[in-house]
Every structure is written in structure tokens, then in C-alpha cells.
């Protein structure tokens, strides 16, 4: 018996020593990756980012530097270095694999892109070969490490000021990451592709480490601080942009994120598949264009912006009720087909209201151009304005306006979702028959969701019309390579996470930013978009920011497994035996 015990002890000691050695090699590989970014990777500045400088990382080298630092930090946490163990509450092995793979993929993409763009490996400097080799070491070692995934336990309490600093730092990092992606050179796809690779693997590593969950717990504890940090981050964004086109991109993202959040009420909370939602955006935009004093308006009135916004919202509300009243008695595919038909009917109708095929209202295919700039209490949104030494151009003005609109929509969504009517929406979404049997008036509840979603889209449409200075029917189609369209909005809700606030905002950001930066794909954009959705549905069906209920529904938890003679569910027994 003692001999067996001695053998087991020796075996465990040897396994522990091997694990420690592999973690040390991973840390050494991460440090080697950091060092390689301070070397020149190519001899010519023709490759985007100028990777010819010694001692100063640039371009795609910065992405390798960040991921290599993350790999080193996770390896240090795995080695038990004091102060770093807080980074991996869910275990270090899977986090290390994600970070190491990200470093490897980003670096090797850069090396291959240099060889392809400059015609041959001869264009690589020794630093490029050093980086390729150094980033391969952690990949090899992390796949030899045993899986140490564990449940996330409550961490040691930190001082309140430290937790607040962590929240502020998380928002600052998020703003920097988004800003980096927006400011990548649109003329060269390599920097943005490398950025996408780094963000995907970096996010995977942070999720697997449990760090995202730990920070989320902090934001829940300090809710007020989190809201203030989010607001400050959003307000600072336009002041950091170097070009007006970057701020313009931010305005478009804010508009479509707001519209996607309105659609989330219909789809995410009430469970109604609306394939013609972009029509309500068009109703608000056309209404605002007609009543805002445009020279080509057929009505000939000029409302102030607040009145135009209210008018657009009310008209969209009316359309939502008129369309929803006869159609919401349908369910499932039938409802989806009818809403798709409404979207096409709207586009065809505004095409025919040209004075020839029908009454002269919308100028047909010519649309309504020359919509005057917004002016609120003498504040002209097309003029530059200076605040405390900081200058905002017209795009910055519209961005801050859309920020206020987004806050309004978020408040409406939050209050409605947590109200009695919001719980009725969720009940209808989960099982309409059971909800009706419990006394919920399904038709009335669904009509309220449809009308509220239409109203929020109309509000965003009024700002969209003034920002674009023109509205034409081609902007409001079911599907197309350029947003807005119903497919884009629905995909933003599903990608981000149905029934959540952050989900549609993140989904709209990704779906608007990525096509803008990858315009070189041209006709292949829709193919890439479809492949991305298929992969998402396979590996993350609940969305990037999932609703807790849906996350449990989409993934097996073993909670309903039948216990065996051990008294534990089958899945738990499997884990126990594996660990043994």
C-alpha cells in the first residue's frame, strides 16, 4: 500500500513539475513575442503600418504586442504570481490557448500578408522570422497543458475605489479598441483584418479566463458608476476622431443601433418575427423630410425639429397600429411573410407617389433632397462649435444628438422590459397558448410591442433624414449590401443577443463597421456575412451578449439529468470521474 502511495505521489509530483515547466515555456514564448515587436519585420514602408522601425512597434505589430502581453500575464497567473491570479478566476489553460492562438494568428497573417503583398518571403527582415517562431511556442505548449477550468468563485473583496478604477479602465480599454478599429486605413484591408483576428481571439481568451464575468459582476455591484462611465465613454468618442469620416461612421452606427434596439422589443421581447421593420424607419424619415421645410417637399410646411420628431414618431405609431391590427392575429411564418410584404409595399408606394403613377407626395424615385440642417434653439448642427477648447464638426453634433436619442430608447426599453407589460411580452414569446390561458390578452400585448417598436424607429428616422439631407426609396429595402435594410437590423439583434440592451448595440456596431472596412470584398460581402451568421448560430446561438434565460436554453447544463447510485447527475459524475 505504501508503495502505491509513493508511486502516486511521485506521479503527481512529476505531472505538477511538467505543468509548471510548460507554463514557464508559455510565459517565455509570450515574452519572446513581445520582444519581436520591437524588431523590424520588413525592409520597406510600402506595407501598411510601416513595420521597418527598430525599437518602436507600429501597425499590426501593436496587435501582436498586446496579445503577447495578455499571453504572458495569463501564464504568470497560471504560475501563481501574486497580483496576476485575479485575471483567471475560471482557469488559465483555455484562456492561454485563446491568447496564444490569437498572437499566432495575427502574427502569421501579417507575415503572410507581407510576403503576398511584396512578392516573396525575401521581403521579410529577421524580426519577422523571430516573431513567427516566438508566437508558435505558446501555441505548442498550451495544448499540452491540462485543462484546469473551474467554477468562478467570489473573489476577495477589493476596496470600492479599486473596483471603480477597474470599471473605468474596462470602459477606457473598450473605447480604445473600438477607436482603433474605426481608424484603421480603409484603403488597405490588412490592418483591419488583423484587428478582427486579434479582437476575436482576445475576446475569447478573456471570456474563457472568467475575467469578463468578474468585471460584469463589478458593474452590477456599482451600477451607477457603470452608467456614468458608459456615458462619459460615449461622449468622449467624437473628440478622439482624427477625420470627419470616422465621426460620420459613429453617427450611422448610433442611428442603426437605436433602430435595432427598437426592433429588439418586437423580436427579442415579444417574439414577433418582423421582416419589414425598416419601413418604419422610412416612415419617420419621409415624415420628417416632408414637414421640415425641404425645398422639394410637396406639403410646404416647416416644423421645428422637436415638432418634426414628434410628428415622425406619431405617424410611425399610426402605421404600426394600422399594420399590426390585422396581421398580429397571425403567428410564426405567416406573420413573417406579411411583415415582409409590408416592407415591400412601403417601398413601392413611395415610388409611385410621384404625381404620375399616384398623388404627388414623395417625388417617387427622386426622393426628397435638400432637407435643411437641424437647428435647435439657435444651435445649427451643420456648423462647427467649440466647447472648452474642443471643436465639434457637424458629424460630432449629430452624434451627440443621437446619443441623447439612444439614451431615451434605452430608458424606454429598460422600463418597458421590466414592467408588467414586459413580462407579458416574454410570456407570449415563450408560449402564447399558455400565456393566453393565464389571462394575458395576446393580441393587445403584441400590438403594443409592435406600435412601440414602430414609434422608436420613427424617432430615429427623423434624425436619419436630417443627417443624410435626403431620403430616397432605395434606402429602405429588405436586403442589400448596404444598410439600412430589414435583414441588417434583424441580424444585429440576433448577433448581439435578443432581449438585451447591449446586444443590439454591439451587433449593429459590428455589422456596420465590418462591411465598411472590408469594402474590397464587394460582391462577396453577402457571402462572408452568411458564413459569419452560420458560424455564430453553430457556436454562439444565444448571441454575443446573451439573455440569461436563452443562454441556459441553448446549452446543456445537466440540471435535468437523472441521478445514478452516486446521487449525482450523469454529467457531474462524468466530471468527477475525469478529475479522478
**pLDDT by residue for the chain (580 residues), tens digit each?**
456 666 566 566 777 888 899 999 999 999 999 999 999 999 988 888 889 999 899 889 999 999 999 999 999 988 888 878 888 888 889 999 999 999 999 999 999 999 998 888 888 999 999 999 999 999 999 999 888 888 877 767 778 888 899 999 999 999 999 999 888 877 788 899 999 999 999 999 999 998 888 898 888 888 899 999 999 999 998 888 878 888 888 888 888 888 899 899 998 888 888 888 888 998 999 999 888 888 878 887 888 888 889 999 999 999 999 888 888 888 878 888 888 888 888 888 888 887 777 787 888 888 888 888 888 877 777 777 777 677 788 888 889 888 998 999 899 888 888 889 989 988 888 888 888 888 888 889 999 999 999 999 999 999 888 888 888 888 887 776 566 777 888 888 888 888 888 888 888 888 888 888 877 776 677 777 778 778 877 877 778 887 766 666 555 554 444 444 433 344 333 333 333 3
Calpha distance 378→376 (Å, rounded): 5
Q: Which of 325, 355, 359 is nearest to 342 (CA)?
A: 325
Last residue of a domain, one of 492, 515, 530: 530
Other beta carbons within 10 angstroms of residue 440's beta carbon come to 18
The pLDDT assigned to 68 comes to: 95
Angle (CA) 196 248 188, round 5°: 40
Residue 422 inside a domain? The answer is yes
570: its cell numbers: 450523469
Calpha distance 380→392 (Å, rounded): 12
Q: Phi then psi for 385, rounded to 5 degrees?
A: -135, 145
Last residue of a domain, one of 183, 208, 232: 232
Which pairs count as long-range contacts for 382-390, CB under 8 Å and 24+ apart, including other chains?
390/239
Calpha distance 355→180 (Å, rounded): 48
Calpha distance 284→346 (Å, rounded): 12
Calpha distance 486→350 (Å, rounded): 17
Q: Which of 104, 119, 21 is nearest to 70 (CA)?
A: 104
Residue 559 inside a domain? The answer is no
Q: Which of 79, 74, 114 is nearest to 95 (CA)?
A: 74
CATH number at residue 476: 1.10.3470
Indicate the Cα dihedral angle 39, 41, 46, 48, nearest 10°: -80
Which pairs count as long-range contacts for 383-392, CB under 8 Å and 24+ apart, including other chains?
390/239, 392/238, 392/239
3-state secondary structure of 387: strand
The pLDDT assigned to 551 comes to: 61
Q: Phi then psi for 192, rounded to 5 degrees?
A: -75, -35
Task: Check: CB of residue 512 under 8 Å from CB of residue 252.
Answer: yes
Q: Are residues 113 and 251 in the same domain?
A: no
Residue 109 inside a domain? The answer is yes
Q: Are residues 418 and 476 in the same domain?
A: yes
Q: Are residues 517 and 423 in the same domain?
A: yes
Last residue of a domain, one of 488, 510, 530: 530
Residue 281 inside a domain? The answer is yes
Q: Are residues 225 and 250 in the same domain?
A: no
Boundaries of domain holding 403:
244-376+394-530
Q: Which of 310, 274, 273, 314 is nearest to 292 (CA)?
A: 310
Angle (CA) 253 256 259, round 5°: 150
The pLDDT assigned to 98 comes to: 93
Q: Are residues 89 and 195 in the same domain?
A: yes
Q: Are residues 297 and 200 in the same domain?
A: no
DSSP 200-216: HHHHHHHHHHTHHHHHH
Task: Check: CB of residue 443 under 8 Å from CB of residue 269.
Answer: no
Calpha distance 235→230 (Å, rounded): 9
Q: Which helix (H) or strand (E) holds 379?
A: strand 379-380
Q: Which helix (H) or strand (E) holds 173?
A: helix 160-182
Residue 447 inside a domain? The answer is yes
Task: Check: CB of residue 562 under 8 Å from CB of residue 513.
Answer: no
Name the domain count of the chain. 2
Q: Are residues 210 and 251 in the same domain?
A: no
- Cell 471603480 belongs to 164
Calpha distance 308→288 (Å, rounded): 5
pTM of the model: 0.84
Q: Phi then psi for 124, rounded to 5 degrees?
A: -85, 135
Sign of the Cα torsion 550, 553, 555, 558 reads: positive
Task: Check: CB of residue 468 under 8 Å from CB of residue 242.
Answer: no
Q: Phi then psi for 336, rounded to 5 degrees?
A: -60, -40
Q: Are residues 248 and 228 in the same domain?
A: no
Q: Which of 335, 327, 347 is nearest to 480 (CA)?
A: 347
Q: Are residues 267 and 367 in the same domain?
A: yes
Sign of the Cα torsion 299, 303, 305, 309 reads: negative
Residue 304 inside a domain? The answer is yes
Indicate the Cα dihedral angle 256, 258, 260, 261, nearest 10°: 170
The pLDDT assigned to 94 comes to: 92
168: its cell numbers: 473605468
Name beta bridge partners: 390. 387
Q: Are residues 313 and 448 in the same domain?
A: yes
Residue 301 inside a domain? The answer is yes
Residue 136 inside a domain? The answer is yes
Q: Are residues 270 and 190 in the same domain?
A: no
Q: Are residues 228 and 285 in the same domain?
A: no
Those residues whose C-beta lies under 8 Å from the C-beta of residue 253, and which sit 6 or more positions away, are 508, 509, 512, 513
Amino acid at each position: 500500500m505504501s508503495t502505491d502511495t509513493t508511486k502516486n505521489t511521485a506521479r503527481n509530483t512529476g505531472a505538477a513539475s511538467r505543468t509548471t515547466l510548460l507554463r514557464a515555456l508559455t510565459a517565455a514564448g509570450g515574452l519572446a513575442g513581445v520582444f519581436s515587436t520591437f524588431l523590424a519585420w520588413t525592409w520597406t514602408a510600402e506595407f501598411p503600418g510601416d513595420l521597418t522601425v527598430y525599437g518602436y512597434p507600429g501597425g499590426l505589430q501593436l496587435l501582436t504586442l498586446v496579445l503577447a502581453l495578455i499571453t504572458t500575464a495569463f501564464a504568470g497567473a497560471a504560475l501563481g504570481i501574486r497580483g496576476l491570479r485575479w485575471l483567471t478566476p475560471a482557469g488559465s489553460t483555455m484562456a492561454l490557448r485563446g491568447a496564444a492562438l490569437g498572437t499566432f494568428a495575427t502574427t502569421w497573417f501579417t507575415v503572410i500578408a507581407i510576403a503576398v503583398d511584396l512578392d516573396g518571403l525575401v521581403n521579410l527582415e529577421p524580426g519577422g522570422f523571430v516573431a513567427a517562431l516566438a508566437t508558435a511556442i505558446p501555441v505548442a505548449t498550451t495544448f499540452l497543458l491540462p485543462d484546469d477550468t473551474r467554477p468562478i468563485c467570489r473573489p476577495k473583496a477589493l476596496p470600492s475605489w479599486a473596483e471603480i478604477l477597474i470599471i473605468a479602465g474596462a470602459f477606457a480599454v473598450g473605447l480604445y479598441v473600438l477607436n482603433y478599429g474605426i481608424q484603421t486605413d480603409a484603403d488597405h484591408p490588412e490592418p483591419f483584418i488583423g484587428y478582427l483576428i486579434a479582437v476575436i481571439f482576445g475576446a475569447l481568451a478573456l471570456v474563457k479566463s472568467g475575467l469578463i464575468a468578474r468585471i460584469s459582476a463589478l458593474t452590477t455591484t456599482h451600477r451607477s458608476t457603470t452608467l456614468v462611465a458608459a456615458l462619459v465613454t460615449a461622449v468622449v468618442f467624437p473628440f478622439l476622431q482624427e477625420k470627419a469620416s470616422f465621426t460620420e461612421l459613429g453617427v450611422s452606427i448610433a442611428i442603426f443601433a437605436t433602430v435595432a434596439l427598437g426592433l429588439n422589443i418586437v423580436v427579442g421581447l415579444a417574439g414577433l418575427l418582423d421582416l419589414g421593420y425598416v419601413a418604419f424607419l422610412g416612415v419617420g424619415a419621409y415624415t420628417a423630410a416632408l414637414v421640415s421645410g425641404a425645398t422639394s417637399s410637396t406639403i410646404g410646411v416647416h416644423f421645428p425639429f422637436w415638432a418634426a420628431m414628434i410628428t415622425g414618431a406619431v405617424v410611425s405609431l399610426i402605421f404600426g397600429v394600422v399594420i399590426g391590427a390585422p396581421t398580429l392575429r397571425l403567428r410564426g411564418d405567416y406573420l413573417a411573410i406579411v411583415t415582409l410584404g409590408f416592407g415591400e409595399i412601403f417601398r413601392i408606394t413611395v415610388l409611385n407617389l410621384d404625381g404620375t403613377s399616384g398623388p404627388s407626395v414623395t417625388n417617387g424615385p427622386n426622393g426628397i433632397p435638400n432637407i435643411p440642417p437641424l437647428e435647435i434653439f439657435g444651435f445649427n448642427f451643420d456648423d462647427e462649435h467649440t466647447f472648452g477648447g474642443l471643436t465639434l464638426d457637424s458629424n460630432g453634433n449629430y452624434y451627440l444628438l443621437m446619443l441623447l436619442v439612444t439614451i431615451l430608447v434605452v430608458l424606454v426599453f429598460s422600463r418597458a422590459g421590466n414592467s408588467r407589460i414586459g413580462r407579458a411580452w416574454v410570456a407570449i414569446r415563450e408560449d402564447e397558448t399558455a400565456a393566453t390561458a393565464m389571462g394575458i390578452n395576446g393580441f393587445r400585448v403584441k400590438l403594443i410591442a409592435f406600435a412601440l417598436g414602430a414609434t422608436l424607429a420613427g424617432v430615429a428616422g427623423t434624425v436619419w433624414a436630417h443627417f443624410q439631407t435626403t431620403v430616397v426609396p432605395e434606402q429602405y429595402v429588405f436586403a442589400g449590401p448596404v444598410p439600412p435594410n430589414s435583414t441588417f437590423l434583424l441580424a444585429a439583434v440576433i448577433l448581439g443577443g435578443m432581449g438585451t440592451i447591449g446586444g443590439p448595440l454591439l451587433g449593429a456596431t459590428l455589422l456596420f463597421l465590418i462591411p465598411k472596412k472590408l469594402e474590397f470584398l464587394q460582391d462577396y460581402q453577402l457571402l462572408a456575412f452568411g458564413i459569419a451568421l452560420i458560424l455564430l448560430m453553430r457556436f454562439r446561438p444565444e448571441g454575443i451578449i446573451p439573455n440569461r434565460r436563452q443562454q441556459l436554453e441553448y446549452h446543456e447544463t445537466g440540471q435535468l439529468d437523472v441521478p445514478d447510485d452516486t446521487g449525482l447527475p450523469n454529467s457531474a459524475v462524468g466530471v468527477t470521474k475525469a478529475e479522478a
